[in-house]
Structure 1
Amino acid sequence: MSEHLLLAPLLESYFRRRLTKQRNATPATMASYRDALRMLILFAATRLRKKPAALVLEELDRDLILAFLDELEEKRNNTIATRNACLAAIRSFFHHVAAADPASFGVAQRVLTIPIKRAHINVTHHLIKAEVDALIEAPNPRTPRGRRDRTFLLFLARTGARVSEATGVNANDLQLERSHPQVLLRGKGRRDRIIPISQDLARALTALLAEHEIASHEPRPIFVGARNERLTRFGATHIVRRAVAKAVNIRPALAQKPISPHIFRHSLAMKLLQSGVDLLTIQAWLGHAQVATTHRYATADVEMMRKGLEKAGVAGDLGVRFRPNDAVLELLNSI
């Protein structure tokens, strides 16, 4: 078999040329695609009883990749979303193969016809205002850690930021002196956005910066750990768990909910939707690439309304309703 069909040079050119230079992929995308292709190669090597370096492209045919995707779900118990994410990485690689090696176009084309698997969309879990407030108030304000925890939880609740966005914020990303304070969030896929922040969050951030003697123009992280390093995803999760452990004494229902840092994002989205903010505004606020992602909140809201009517003995079909968004800032400060 010809050398140009060996996997090694194609993989090297994919990561070095296509993702890095042509696509300008983020480190997170690079890591995700690397892990997906690594799992595929190890699966193929085990299945074909060959060393990974000895694999050739034609051995990664459509049937083998379908078997790999099935194993993700059946043996690894991965979700359909994870399966589709792995398939996206594989398809990206085979797009590169088709362009880089015309002789392999047939192999690539057969792989590229593998469809994304449709998944059932569950109703999005979220918290009511009283539960969010209980979590925010849980940390001890008399300790440095408690003040940091409270500000971090307030940041998640008021901005709807992803964990990586919240932990990645630096002091110079904030504009707290404006009449309407705002923050720059660095989203997935370099989708940066500037969003307004509430007055209570602005006050908490101002106090936190002063406590740590951080000037507003400095590119220093706002949320740091015990060793003064940037807060990690694990640290963020630990903050939320500590707050839940204390808040359940006031709100016992919290013990029955799957609470992670991401639930604050869902909770803000549902609050905005139920207050009349349109989906396009919520999409821009949360940094979703597609409005279809945002639409699940409308679906969840309709489902809750339907269950309420059924409980009250009222039948009928409900449609998604949108109201004009003319007071988002006022709403933000009233949350």
Structure 2
Amino acid sequence: MNWESYIKSYQSYLKIERGLSANTIANYCFDIERLCLFLEQNNIAISPVKIKAETLQEFIYQVSKEVNPRSQARIISGLKSFFKYLLFEEYRTDSPLELIESPKMGRKLPDTLAVAEIDALIAAVDLSSNEGERNRAMLETLYGCGLRVSELVALKISDLFFEEGFVLITGKGNKQRFLPIGLLNQKYITIYKENSRTEIPIQKVAEDTLFLNRRGKPLTRAMIFTIIKQLAVKIDLQKKISPHTFRHSFATHLLENGADLRSIQLMLGHESITTTEIYVHLDRKYLAQVLNTFHPRK
């Protein structure tokens, strides 16, 4: 098989076995295609089964001139995943990237919002507009449940279990988790669902989708970004924010108010607690407070 055949086989594995989205699969394969272009430009005719570590090191060295360390690390990670798949399928007996290390870098702490800033953003929603009740309910849900933007746009009415105080969330890899939802959040979703949503000519494919655009179709992720950026401008917020900022803030505020990291991990839907540690913004002042409160020799 040539590179294209192996890549297609790998794409099928990512979709069927790992349940990844089309966007994620495209990102995984982009760097493999970049490697193929490097081989073509340098007249190197070799299959993924025969390629050696030296060739891959040359490629990574070339890439390092063009991208920052974080992007370089992502490329190496993507290639390692591909060759790990070839190893798993027994196309190879070793991984040529086994001894290649990613560049060292510090952890990038995410931006967070203070509770007052979140309150100001939600208060800035124009409730006199047709989309106002929807936008308020969406922001409350992003922050109140710590959702990814993809989880928010996919949320269905049948996922709401308000009597039990939970919502069912479908996350990455179609993995589902139940999340507690506060009474205020329930209130704003109910107001939207029973008022402005009923005024929309809902498309048949979107009858169970909770948050809809004015044409009765599911909202896009880009639209959520736009709504949040417009509100930030409206209140003159001097921070670069996105839907994910609400998720970071959700985790940070829980931690600062005494929640344990394991509970936050479960609510965020992270497989590894290491990922949760990256998402949670810890400052020295808070760590000192934890030490002084809980250490037996404080």
- TM-score normalised by length of structure 1: 0.75
Q: 1:37 to 1:304 in 2, by over 3 A?
A: farther
Is the counterpart of residue 40 in structure 1 residue 35 in structure 2?
yes
Q: 1:43 to 1:228 in 2, by over 3 A?
A: farther
- Map of 1:212 onto structure 2: 197
CA distances 1:56-88 after superposition (whole Å, capped 9, x unpaired): 3367432333344445554144x51x4333323
- Residue 135 of structure 1, CA deviation: 0.6
Amino acid in structure 1 at the alignment position of 2:39: A
Name the count of aligned residue pairs: 289
Stretch moving more, 134-143 or 58-67: 58-67
- Residue 11 of structure 1, CA deviation: 2.6
Contact 1:174 1:184 (8 Å CA) reproduced? yes
- Residue 89 of structure 1, CA deviation: 2.6
**Structure 2: runs of 5 or more not aligned:** none
CA distances 1:242-292 after superposition (whole Å, capped 9, x unpaired): 1101122xxxxx21x221111111111111011110000011111112111
Stretch moving more, 205-214 or 55-64: 55-64
Contact 2:7 2:29 (8 Å CA) reproduced? no
- Map of 1:301 onto structure 2: 282
Percent same amino acid at aligned positions? 27
Is the counterpart of residue 110 in structure 1 residue 96 in structure 2?
yes
Is the counterpart of residue 86 in structure 1 residue 86 in structure 2?
no
Amino acid in structure 2 at the alignment position of 1:95: K
- Residue 197 of structure 1, CA deviation: 1.1
Contact 1:127 1:263 (8 Å CA) reproduced? yes
Q: 1:309-328 maps to which residues of 2 (within 5 A)?
A: 319=291
Amino acid in structure 2 at the alignment position of 1:169: L
Contact 2:151 2:169 (8 Å CA) reproduced? yes
More helix by share: 1
SS of the aligned residue for 2:179 comes to strand
Contact 1:186 1:192 (8 Å CA) reproduced? yes
Q: 1:118-267 maps to which residues of 2 (within 5 A)?
A: 118-176=104-162, 178=163, 180-210=164-194, 211-213=196-198, 220-248=208-236, 254-255=237-238, 257-267=239-249
Contact 1:302 1:318 (8 Å CA) reproduced? no
Q: 1:88 to 1:190 in 2, by over 3 A?
A: farther
Stretch moving more, 218-227 or 117-126: 218-227
- Map of 1:286 onto structure 2: 268
CA RMSD of aligned residues (A): 3.0
CA distances 1:192-224 after superposition (whole Å, capped 9, x unpaired): 211111111111111211232399xx8622222
- TM-score normalised by length of structure 2: 0.84
- Residue 100 of structure 1, CA deviation: 4.1
Contact 1:183 1:195 (8 Å CA) reproduced? yes
**Structure 1: runs of 5 or more not aligned:** 249-253, 307-315, 324-335
